Each structure stands twice: as C-alpha cells, then as structure tokens.
C-alpha cells in the first residue's frame, strides 16, 4: 500500500510539473476556420476540430451529428419551442455560426418600475407559462401555443448568436474580463464602462462565474448555455434544466435528455462540439488590402476597440474554471483570440428594458457583439434590424455616442475604409 501511495504521489507530482511547464509556454494563436460543413449524409464526417480531447467512445463527428439532430414530440420537443434542432438556428454556410433567426423576449414593469417576466395564458386560459422572458414562436399542439398579451408592453427581438470558438471564450479567465472593464473608463474619458455580472454555474451548484454567453451575459459556461437553450429554445428537459415550462400536450417524462450508450447526454455532446470548434476566420485577402489596414487603424483611433477588444488571451492550461467543473485543456488554454468583443454589458442606446440574470441596472444593457465572423452576416445588431454596417454603427448611442460622433465626422473615404476593415472580419 505504501508503494502504491508513493507511486500515485509521484505521478501527481509529475502531472503538476508538466502542467506548470505547459503554462509557462508562450501563447499561440487559436486555430481558425469554417471547418464544420453541414452535410445531409454522414454529418460531421468532413469537419475538423480544434484538437479538444474527446471522452471515451466519442468523436467530433458524433458531437456534430447530435448538434444537428432534429427532434419531435416523442423525443422531447416542446411543448413550446423555437427550433427542432440546434443547427436550425446556428447555421450559415457551416454548422455553429449565427443565422438570421430572432427570438421574442417580453415583459412589463411593476408599480415601482422594476422589470417583471410575462405571464402568458395558454390552453384557453386553463394554463399559464411564466418565470421567463422568452416567448416561444412554436408549439407541438394548438392548445400550447403562446400568444403575447397586450399587458406585456416591453417587447424585443434577439438575434441568434454565433457559437464557433465559444470554447475559447469560456476559457477566458474572469480576472481578464474584470481587467478589461476596469480599463475602459480610462480609455474613454469615463464614457465607456462595461459591466460584468456573476452568474450561478448550473453544473457546479453554489458556484458562480462571470457571465459571457447570451445577449444579457445570462450564462457563464458552455454547458450551462447549451442546457438552458435546450429547454428554452427546443423544450427538451435535461439534468441541468429538468422541468418543462408546461405539460400541455406533453407525451414524455422529464428529464428527456438521457445518457446514450457511451454515457453522454445530448447536452454533453453539444458542449463538446461547441468547445471543439475553431474561431471564425478572417478574410485574409481583404484584410491585407491597404483600405482594410487603414480602416483597422481608424477603428482604433476613434475608439471602437475599447468595447470591441481585438485581442484576448485565454487562461493557462490546467486552470480550473466553471466552479471547478472544467479544467482548461491544451486545445483551449494559452491561446490568443481576436473576438473584437469584450463580453461585457454596455448601454449603447439599444437596450430592450429586459432584466434576465443581472441586477436592475442591466435592463438597458446588452453584451458587446463579438465581430468575428461578421462578414457572413447580412443584418446586424441585437435585433438584426440594421441592414448595413453604416446603419449599425450609427445605431450606437449612450456609452458609444462619442465614437459615433467621431465616425460621422470622418471623410466618406475614411468611413468606407473602416467598413472595408469590418467586412474582413
């Protein structure tokens, strides 16, 4: 027994030293590429991951297959939902990107001016759905269909977000985001001040982490994010979100997402897929042009980069994150990413009045939209109502008012150079 204990202690010591040596390595660029083609036959077969290790029996292709698998009521879809699969919303050219879809959020203010989630009558008034701001567009039967009452006069559309590269976003240390927030007032004469909020980690009860996923930073980890989306966007209950919003027309028992033959539930496959994707790549040819490079300098000069942060480093390999539920692997740790976002909440005049996970002051704040992958989008901002990049820029206000004023004062040729730079992202 003594020899066995000594051997295990020595092995642990070697692993600690090895991790320490890895952590001392200089950071390298995160792999980039639109390398998750959506294929009808043999999904995932041509996809290439970022090198994230897979659990025993799992593959990146299998993870993508699960991400693309369509559900019906017999496999847990609904009773209310927005999509029948993850890929239905997260697909544009390849699997995992942002699409043209929007979801509806709503609510109202109480007598004290505080945001209140809507209460929606369904089934001819016999049942209600409450406790959340999302209102689903679809249902598995007519009796479960949600209809927004006139009393819920706070209404907003939210665009689907890109998930490619989100494993690297998850691997950003909390202190890095706090440091970005602390520097912003000094970089902007006090005008810009991003807010970081602490969110409970679903997979680590009692633990919190700075939110970074969703328009309101309402989720702090990839697994929490996909579990929440599985319920709220598809109506599939799982171990982290185990109860449906209504039982009207329901034919399955909760939780509906159960482990497969290799011991992984759907949300585990989703998390593996998202964590293993590469970051969105730039258009290297356009980025190398004189106009794009001049536009990038102008982007910095007028202060766009204060919120749309160009370069962030992920945590060291071996760092425990997510309340200790995840250890940053070599595929994600010590990587340099260029999200052109700060993953913080800001009031730039586009807030929707809805409070989700943060304090009341977040009602009119939204997460800075990371600009990586911007070139494959045709509509912009949180509601996709801006049809040109010029419209999107001029749609900023509040904390970004000074930046927009500087943009408006630029010569037309300079404005176009900045737009050319954005089109390279």
Residue 94 has pLDDT above 80, yes or no: yes
Per-residue pLDDT tens digits for 304-349: 999 999 999 999 999 999 999 999 999 999 999 999 999 999 999 9
Per-residue pLDDT tens digits for 135-151: 999 999 999 999 999 99
Q: Which pLDDT score is estimated for 12?
A: 47
Domain boundaries, the chain: 60-423
Residue 85 has pLDDT above 60, yes or no: yes
Q: Which pLDDT score is estimated for 25?
A: 77
Residue 4 has pLDDT above 50, yes or no: no
Whether 272 and 58 have beta carbons less than 8 Å apart is answered as: yes
> How confident is residue 18, by pLDDT bands cut at 50, 70 and 90?
low
Whether 360 and 114 have beta carbons less than 8 Å apart is answered as: yes
> How confident is residue 20, by pLDDT bands cut at 50, 70 and 90?
low
**What mean pLDDT is predicted for residues 114-140?**
97
Per-residue pLDDT tens digits for 23-82: 557 999 999 999 999 999 999 999 999 999 999 999 999 999 999 999 999 999 999 999
Residue 163 has pLDDT above 50, yes or no: yes
Percentage with pLDDT > 70 across the chain: 94
């Amino acid at each position: 027994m003594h020899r066995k204990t000594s051997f295990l202690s020595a092995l642990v010591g070697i692993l600690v030293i090895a991790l320490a040596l890895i952590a001392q390595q200089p950071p390298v660029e995160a792999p980039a590429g639109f390398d998750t083609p959506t294929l009808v036959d043999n999904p995932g077969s041509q996809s290439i991951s970022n090198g994230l290790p897979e659990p025993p029996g799992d593959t990146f292709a299998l993870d993508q297959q699960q991400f693309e698998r369509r559900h019906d009521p017999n496999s847990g879809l609904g009773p209310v939902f927005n999509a029948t699969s993850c890929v239905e919303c997260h697909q544009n050219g390849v699997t995992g990107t942002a699409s043209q879809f929007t979801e509806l959020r709503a609510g109202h203010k109480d007598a004290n001016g505080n945001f209140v989630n809507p209460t929606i009558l369904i089934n001819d008034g016999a049942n209600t759905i409450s406790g959340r701001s999302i209102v689903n567009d679809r249902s598995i039967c007519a009796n479960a269909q949600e209809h927004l009452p006139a009393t819920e006069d706070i209404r907003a559309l939210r665009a689907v977000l890109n998930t490619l590269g989100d494993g690297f976003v998850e691997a950003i240390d909390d202190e890095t985001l706090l440091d970005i927030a602390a520097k912003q007032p000094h970089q902007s004469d006090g005008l810009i001040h991003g807010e970081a909020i602490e969110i409970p980690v679903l997979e680590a009860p009692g633990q919190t982490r700075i939110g970074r996923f969703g328009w309101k930073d309402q989720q702090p980890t990839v697994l929490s994010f996909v579990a929440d989306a599985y319920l709220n966007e598809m109506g599939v209950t799982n171990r982290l979100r185990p109860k449906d919003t209504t039982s009207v027309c329901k034919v399955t028992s909760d939780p509906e997402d159960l482990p497969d033959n290799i011991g992984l539930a759907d949300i585990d496959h989703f998390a593996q897929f998202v964590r293993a994707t590469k970051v969105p790549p730039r258009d290297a040819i356009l980025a190398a042009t004189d106009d794009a490079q001049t536009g990038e300098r102008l982007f910095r000069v007028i202060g766009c980069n204060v919120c749309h942060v160009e370069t962030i480093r992920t945590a060291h390999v071996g760092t425990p994150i997510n309340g200790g539920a995840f250890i940053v692997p070599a595929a994600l740790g010590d990587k340099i990413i260029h999200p052109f976002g700060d993953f913080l909440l800001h009031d730039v005049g586009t807030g929707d009045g809805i409070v989700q996970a943060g304090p009341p002051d977040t009602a009119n704040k939204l997460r800075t939209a990371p600009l990586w992958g911007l070139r494959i989008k045709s509509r912009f901002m949180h509601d996709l109502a801006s049809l040109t990049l010029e419209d999107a820029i001029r749609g900023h206000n509040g904390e970004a008012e000074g930046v927009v004023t500087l943009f408006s004062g630029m010569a037309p040729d300079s404005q176009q150079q900045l737009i050319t730079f954005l089109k390279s992202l």
